[in-house]
Amino acid sequence: MSGHVVTETTGGVLTLRFNRPEKKNALLAAMYSDAAAALKAAAGDKTVRVAVITGTADSFTAGNDLKDFLENMPTDADAPVFRFMRTLATFPKPVIAAVNGLAIGIGTTLLLHCDLAYAVAGAKFQLPFVNIAIVPEFCSTLLMPRLMGHVQAAELLLLGEAFTAEKALKLGLINDVVAPEELMATVNAKAAALVAKPPESLRLSKALLRGNGPEIAERISWENKVVAARLASAEFREAATAFFEKRAPDFSKF
C-alpha cells in the first residue's frame, strides 16, 4: 500500500479511505491499484460483510491527478483505473459511500456502484469529462440516464457543471445529506445494520438489484476504449496544456 489509501476492518466493515488530503485526494495510478487490491481481498474475506469508501479532510476525491494520469495513461484494459472500476462494479457485498466533501469525476461516478451513499451538506459534485476533451466513464452513460432520465444526465455529463449535495439527493445519486459531524456516525450505523443481516441474502439481493452485470461490464469496457482513444486526440492535448498553463482551453480551431 502506498499510504494514500488507508484501510481498516472493524466489526465486519472494511473502511477504505482515500488519504492524500494535500491534493484533495486526487487519485494516482498507485491509489487505484491499492483500492482494487483491498476490495478484491475483501470480496473473498468472509469476515468482511460491508465496505465503506470515504475520503479525508474536506475531500472525497478530486478525481484523477492529471499529471500522474498523463504519465500513466490508461491505454489498456489492465490499467489500474480500469482494474479498480471492474473490481468495484462487481464487488459482491454492500458498499456505502461517505462523501465527506469534494467529489469530482470518478468521485461522482463511483457512487453509481455503491449501494448506499451519504454526503455532507457542503459537498460539491462535478462530471467534467467533456470539459477536458474525454468522455464519461464507469458506466455513467448507461446508469445515469436510467437513474434520473436522459435530460438530467445530459445536463450533468455534457455541460460538466458543478452541483450541490442537495441536487445529488434530488437526482438519486445519494441517500441523504447530513451535517459533517454526523457523516461517519450515520454511515457506521447503516453499515452495522447491514452486518447484522444474513450475508448470503444480502449478496443475492444486491445482485438482483444490480441487474445485468454483463451489460454494465460491456459499457464500462466501451467507455474505457473511447477514453483511451481520446487521450491521443488534439483536443485532449489542448485541454491538458491549458490546465498546466492555467488558462482556459481554446477549442475553436477544432
DSSP H or E run through 162: none
What is the domain count for the chain?
A: 1
Q: What is the pLDDT of residue 83?
A: 96
pLDDT at 2: 67
User: What domain range includes position 102?
Assistant: 5-181
> Residue 75 domain-assigned?
yes
Reduce the DSSP state of residue 224 to 3 states and report it: helix
Q: Is residue 231 part of a domain?
A: no
Asked if residue 219 belongs to a domain, the reply is no
Which CATH number characterizes residue 45's domain? Answer: 3.90.226.10
Asked whether residue 223 is assigned to any structural domain, the reply reads no
> Does the residue 72 lie in any domain?
yes
Residue 147 lies in a domain: yes
Residue 22 DSSP symbol: G
User: In this structure, which amino acid lies at residue 72?
Assistant: N
**What is the reported pLDDT for 1?**
57
Q: Look at phi and psi of residue 100 and say left if phi exceeds 0, alpha if psi is from -120 to 50, else beta.
A: alpha
The pTM for the full model equals 0.96
Q: What is the pLDDT along the chain (254 residues), one digit of tens a residue?
A: 569 999 999 999 999 999 999 999 999 999 999 999 999 999 999 999 999 999 999 999 999 999 999 999 998 889 999 999 999 999 999 999 999 999 999 999 999 999 999 999 999 999 999 999 999 999 999 999 999 999 999 999 999 999 999 999 999 999 999 999 999 999 999 999 999 999 999 999 999 999 889 999 999 999 999 999 999 999 999 999 999 999 999 999 89
Residue 97 to residue 225: CA distance in whole angstroms: 27
Q: Indicate whether 247 belongs to any domain.
A: no
Residue 86: which H helix or E strand, with range? helix 80-89
* Residue of 1, 14, 88 lying closest to 52 (CA atoms): 14
Q: Locate cell 466513464: which residue?
A: 137
For 146-166, how does the pLDDT look when each residue is reduced to its tens digit (9 = 90+)?
999 999 999 999 999 999 999
| Residue-wise pLDDT tens digits, 208-248 | 999 889 999 999 999 999 999 999 999 999 999 999 999 99
Pairing of strands 50-54, 95-99: parallel
